[in-house]
Amino acid sequence: MTLAAARPKVAFAHLGCEKNRIDTEHMLGLLAAAGYQIGSDPTQADYVIVNTCSFIEAARRESVQTLVELAEADKKIVITGCLAQQFREELLAAIPEAVAVVGTGDYQHIVQVLHQVEQGEKVLRVTAQPTYLADETVPRYRTTCAPVAYVRVAEGCDYRCSFCIIPHLRGNQRSRTIESIVAEAQELADQGVQELILISQITTNYGLDVYGKPRLADLLYALGDVPIPWIRVHYSYPTGLTPEVLRAFRDVPNVLPYIDLPLQHSHPEILRAMNRPWQQDLHDRLLERIRELLPDAVIRTTFIVGFPGETAAHFRHLCAFVERHQFDHVGVFTFSAEAGTPAATLPGQVSEAVKRRRQKQLMQKQQPISWAKHQQYVGRVVDVLIEQEHPQTGRKIGRSARFSPEVDGQVYVSGPAALGTIVPVKITQADVYDLYGEVVVSPAINRPGAESPAQRRC
């Protein structure tokens, strides 16, 4: 009997952000390397590992619902991720089917945890202040589409936004070296990856803890030598988008001019209460600088409405800010009072009804802006990364450089195009969220990505 056949079968339920996804991928890689059978069907698994999210109340509800459903199906559950970090002892006590709880800084021990569980132990493995950071030497099994991969450049956060619980769940920032990140990027290039997405809690702060100063610009220049066509950066902090960083966006050919810039609000009084950068006109000056150095920049941002103390006047200021700056993509979230954060106990809490109304109103402000932006692409030819094929129509689905996975729109493509390739597409139609077009060249000259066993299709 082989070692793989002797090991139990493990299934995963992944929840939360792409940073959580990388944790899941490392656990998959470690378990597969140790001979565990990995399956996608929880009903057929001996253990189900649920990698949970606890960022806001809605994410906690989803995590708890998943755990309850698995418990009702009498599955043996290993709870990992942010909910495990936050409610460690409570989860073991409340869910008898939970055989282990593993924190955000301890997932590298998942094989040992399962060994203990197989011996009949109930395991609680949660480091109060996480310090672990995986690198390119840790096994990883990617769960993204074949041509796309996320690379975590740092973990944790040193900032203390008054509404955010992430530093309590993920610890302080710790960065990988430039050499480590480039080595992983090269491995992914060898696997045929066409788009690399750099992530951390605050990517513009990358390297501060290792090098004594942020070194995102140096990292981008180093990644310019890696043969991956698209490199995208997520999670920029307003004060971290320095002229040096913006020049790297401009000068490195494979770094996309896609600026992911969660501003959270526009009014100085709300930004001050959020413990965010709030100097007079800081956001206006920054956006002007971005457009000066990167005229073709695609700017995505997010806002929180209903923050404690937000008045109708504050909200009107935000609406006017959105109309003035004509962002390409906007996400709007309602404030979630997270226990243990300063904002949870601030005076002037806003009702849920008002939060939802403001969220709807701000998104309605953005929709005609997005529609007009997309209409400008009709008749143009853009590169599109092909990721999926519709099972009924055979129509291909992909993204142009202006769309990041899962958070932005898609491009629906007619004509021959191989999965995992970047092809030129003439845009024939556009709506508020998506683009539609036709391949304009033979797939024989598409830029293919070599496939490998490490890749998976959507």
Give the pLDDT confidence score for residue 59 in this predicted structure: 83
What are the boundaries of each domain within the chain? 3-125, 148-375, 381-445
Query: What's the rounded Cα separation, in Å, for the pair 69 and 240?
Result: 42
The predicted model gives 431-444 an average pLDDT of 83
pLDDT tens by residue, 336-384: 999 889 999 999 999 999 999 999 999 999 999 999 999 999 999 999 9
Whole-structure pTM value:
0.91
Calpha distance 26→303 (Å, rounded)? 31
Q: What is the pLDDT of residue 445?
A: 42
pLDDT tens for 225-239 read: 999 999 999 999 999
Q: How confident is the model over 384-410, as pLDDT tens digits? A: 999 999 888 889 999 999 999 999 999
Give every CB contact of residue 224 below 8 A, 6+ residues apart in sequence: 252, 253, 254, 255
User: Does position 448 have pLDDT exceeding 80, yes or no?
Assistant: no
| Long-range own/partner contacts, residues 210-219 (CB < 8 A, 24 or more apart) | 210/174, 210/175, 210/176, 210/177, 211/175, 214/240, 214/242, 214/245, 215/178, 216/240, 216/245, 216/248, 217/242, 217/244, 217/245, 217/247, 217/248, 218/178, 219/153, 219/178, 219/181
Cβ atoms 55, 61 nearer than 8 A: no
- Topology, domain 381-445: OB fold (Dihydrolipoamide Acetyltransferase, E2P) (2.40.50)
Distance CA 397, CA 336 (A): 34
pLDDT digit string (tens) for 239-279? 999 999 999 999 999 999 999 999 999 999 999 999 998 87
Give 416-442 as a DSSP string: ---TT-EEEEEEEEE-SS-EEEEE-S-
Provide the pLDDT confidence category of residue 456 given band limits of 50, 70 and 90: very low
How far is C-alpha 245 from the geometric centre of its chain's CA atoms?
A: 21
Q: Give pLDDT tens digits for 2-47.
A: 444 568 899 998 888 888 899 999 999 999 999 999 988 888 899 9
* pLDDT tens per residue, range 181-206: 999 999 999 999 999 999 999 999 99
Do residues 382 and 369 make contact, with C-beta atoms less than 8 angstroms apart?
no
Q: So what CATH class is 148-375? A: alpha beta
CB burial of 271-292 (b: ≥16 within 10 Å; e: otherwise) equals: bebbbbbbeeebbeebbeebee
Question: Would the pLDDT of 163 be above 60?
Answer: yes
235 vs 200: CA distance, rounded Å: 7
442: pLDDT confidence band, cut at 50, 70 and 90?
low
Q: Could you tell me the CA-to-CA distances from 281 to 66, 291, 306, 321 in Å, in that order?
A: 44, 16, 22, 11
Per-residue pLDDT at 218 exceeds 80: yes
Q: How confident is the model at residue 57 (pLDDT cuts 50, 70, 90)?
A: confident
pLDDT in tens, 74-115: 889 999 999 999 988 888 888 989 999 999 999 999 999 999
Confidence of residue 280 (pLDDT cuts 50, 70, 90): confident
Structure tokens that stand for 368 in this block: 């005609």
User: In degrees, to the nearest 5, what angle opens at C-alpha 446 toward C-alphas 444 and 448?
Assistant: 105
Q: CATH number of the domain at 3-125, out of 1.10.20.60, 3.40.50.12160, 3.40.50.150, 3.30.70.1230?
A: 3.40.50.12160
DSSP, collapsed to helix, strand or coil, labels residue 203 as: helix
Q: What is the pLDDT of residue 228?
A: 97
Type of residue numbered 247: R
pLDDT at residue 453, as a whole number: 28
Predicted pLDDT of residue 404? 97
Question: Does 3-125 match 381-445 in CATH topology?
Answer: no
Residue 259: name the closest of 306, 298, 208, 294 by CA: 298
* Helices 18-33, 110-118: crossing angle, 10 deg rounding: 60
- Residue 154 belongs to what H/E stretch? strand 154-155
How far is it, in rounded angstroms, from Cα 223 to Cα 405?
Answer: 20
- Does the pLDDT of residue 144 top 90, yes or no? no
**Which residue shows structure tokens 């043996």?**
76
The amino acid sitting at 329 is H
How confident is residue 443, by pLDDT bands cut at 50, 70 and 90? very low
